[in-house]
Amino acid sequence: MVTRIAIIGGGPAGYEAALVAVQLGAEVTLVDRDGVGGMCVLADCVPSKTFIATSEAMTTLSHADRVGVHGEGTVSVQVAEVHARVKALALAQSNDIAANLVRHGVSILNGPARLLPGRKVQVGSQTIAADVVLLATGASPRVVSGADPDGERILDWRHLYDLKELPTHLVVVGSGVTGAEFASAYLAMGCQVTLVSSRDRVLPSEDPDAAEQLQQVFVRNGMRVLRGRAAGVELQEGGVLVKLVDGSTVAASHCLMTVGSVPNTTDLGLEEAGVQVDAGGFIKVDRVSRTTADGVYAAGDVTGVLMLASVAAMQGRIAMWHALGEAVAPLRLATVSANVFTDPEVASVGVTQKQVDDGLIAATSIKLPLATNARAKMQGLTDGFVKLFCRPGSGSILGGVVVAPRASELILSVSLAVQHGLTADQFAHTFSIYPSLSGSLTEAARQLMLHEA
């Protein structure tokens, strides 16, 4: 008998699940109200990384003098061209994903969908009966009362690509990953940037050494980093006035609010169908993506488990493997690698410095600055480091942090080590290229071996 699967939401959680399910012989209907690829492809991850590719080009140009390249005249960002490129790329990616789904036999419906009791899904006047339902509706920018975006001066990240000009002075409220990435990108593009951080330092959830290093680079490059909490944002002639809780104000041309996301569960029919949510409104799931309602699974940002596209996709696949009776390993967050696309990038995997400092995990660590790395010197890099954690005794690599340009590409070797329980000894005996930034990782492993000896 063919299993009928209905998926609400066509982001990474939904579309990756759909692909797995059709490959396992299920009949799959995927419903999305905005477009296949979800907000990941159309508004969040893909557009932001495309935009950041432009800021990277600016960074490369601005550092060229370090290696003896000097230009005449000015270099400028053509914002209309950049935004058009961002939108075109997102749309093309969405179309590619949709075509791939259709090629594999997934039926796609457009429109808002709602879960009905008894594993049914309603789309407009149509009711789809299913054996299994996957909720993958994602999340939306959180709005702070008194700082409601108008889309022109007070913005969330989905408004940015409609701006006609680059902000002359952008205040970014929120110094988490999204805030730090946009603050870094706009700074590199030549905008004046003020970053308002409600915590002691930027990137409060990341490795403290990495966050400190990044903040130093931000400040050195001219960013103003303010400690404070936004009480509200007002429109004023030609700009905005950002009011902080301590009574101080910052006048700027634009304000970008990056204060987290809320799950898309409004009018989804959860309560009637017996799907419970947690205190934050996120759908409660176990490690194989089951909700509290029989036959109803949830995956991705709507579960709030870890708001990354890679995790959303894995949760979606796990849901389908489980629902369709395949062997499945429950979600393991300890091996998820993550990256902050700032200049420099901050990539991490496995145990964190906080877990070690709090005594939750016994680990030996080593941190090597890139400044002593031969390739870094050749490239004129002065910032960045690699850090590795290993288990005392066995020497298994438990985690690591890389702060460097393209750290997102360098972290994979550490992820492999963490995933497969490689030891510092095994890592150290792996050939790295000379000269290369990854040579600092094998060097760090060698130094961990010395610790262990």
Ligand X SMILES: Cc1cc2nc3c(=O)[nH]c(=O)nc-3n(C[C@H](O)[C@H](O)[C@H](O)COP(=O)(O)OP(=O)(O)OC[C@H]3O[C@@H](n4cnc5c(N)ncnc54)[C@H](O)[C@@H]3O)c2cc1C
Taking CA atoms, 20 is separated from 5, 113, 233, 314, 371, in Å, by 11, 21, 45, 11, 45
Q: Which of 307, 404, 418, 445 binds ligand X (CB under 6 A)?
A: 307
CB of 141 to ligand X, least distance (A): 7
The residue with tokens 């409060």 is 204
Q: Which of 130, 132, 180, 268 binds ligand X (CB under 6 A)?
A: 268
d(CA 161, CA 141): 15
User: Cα dihedral sign for 284, 181, 91, 313?
Assistant: negative
Q: Which of 20, 21, 30, 38 binds ligand X (CB under 6 A)?
A: 38
Q: Which of 22, 28, 30, 113 binds ligand X (CB under 6 A)?
A: 113
CB of 249 to ligand X, least distance (A): 26
Q: In this structure, are residues 175 and 195 in contact, taking their beta carbons and an 8 Å threshold?
A: yes
CB of 268 to ligand X, least distance (A): 6
How many C-beta atoms lie closer than 10 Å to residue 131's C-beta?
Answer: 16
Half-sphere exposure in the Cβ direction for 105 (13 Å, CA): 11
Q: Which is nearer to ligand X, 341 or 389 (CB)?
A: 341
What residues numbered 164-203 form the site for ligand X, per CB under 6 A?
178
CB of 433 to ligand X, least distance (A): 26
User: Cα dihedral sign for 174, 175, 179, 182?
Assistant: positive
Burial degree of 295 (CB within 10 A; 0-12, 13-18, 19+): middle
**Residue 169, beta-bridge partner list:** 192
The region of 283-291, 303-311, 398-406, 439-447 touching ligand X under the rule CB under 6 A is: 303-311
**Residue 123, beta-bridge partner list:** 113, 126
Q: Which is nearer to ligand X, 49 or 287 (CB)?
A: 49
Q: Which is nearer to ligand X, 308 or 351 (CB)?
A: 308
Q: Which of 59, 253, 264, 413 binds ligand X (CB under 6 A)?
A: 264
CB of 45 to ligand X, least distance (A): 4
Q: Is 286 left (phi over 0), alpha (psi -120 to 50) or beta?
A: beta
The residue with tokens 């934050």 is 280
Q: Which of 29, 48, 348, 438 binds ligand X (CB under 6 A)?
A: 48
Instruction: At 281, list the tokens.
Output: 């409104």
Asked if 101 touches ligand X (CB under 6 A), the answer is no
d(CA 80, CA 270): 41
Q: Which of 64, 91, 112, 288 binds ligand X (CB under 6 A)?
A: 112
> Per-residue contact track with ligand X, 141 to 170, x per CB under 6 A?
----------------x-------------
Q: Which of 19, 28, 45, 319 binds ligand X (CB under 6 A)?
A: 45
Q: How far is CA 35 from the centre of its chain?
A: 20
Considering only CA atoms, which of 40, 48, 59, 38 is closest in space to residue 82?
48
The region of 84-92, 135-143, 248-256, 279-287 touching ligand X under the rule CB under 6 A is: 135-143
Asked if 138 touches ligand X (CB under 6 A), the answer is yes
Taking CA atoms, 344 is separated from 31, 165, 382, 399, 436, in Å, by 38, 25, 10, 19, 16
Instruction: At 286, list the tokens.
Output: 């176990």
What residues numbered 7-26 form the site for ligand X, per CB under 6 A?
8-14
Instruction: At 408, list the tokens.
Output: 């997102």
Q: Which is nearer to ligand X, 100 or 249 (CB)?
A: 100
What is the DSSP secondary structure assignment for residue 113, as one 8-state letter?
E
CB of 302 to ligand X, least distance (A): 6
The region of 4-12, 58-66, 160-168, 273-281 touching ligand X under the rule CB under 6 A is: 4-12
Residues that bind ligand X (CB under 6 A): 8-14, 31-34, 38-40, 44-45, 48-49, 112-113, 136-138, 157, 178, 264, 268, 300-302, 307-310, 312, 341
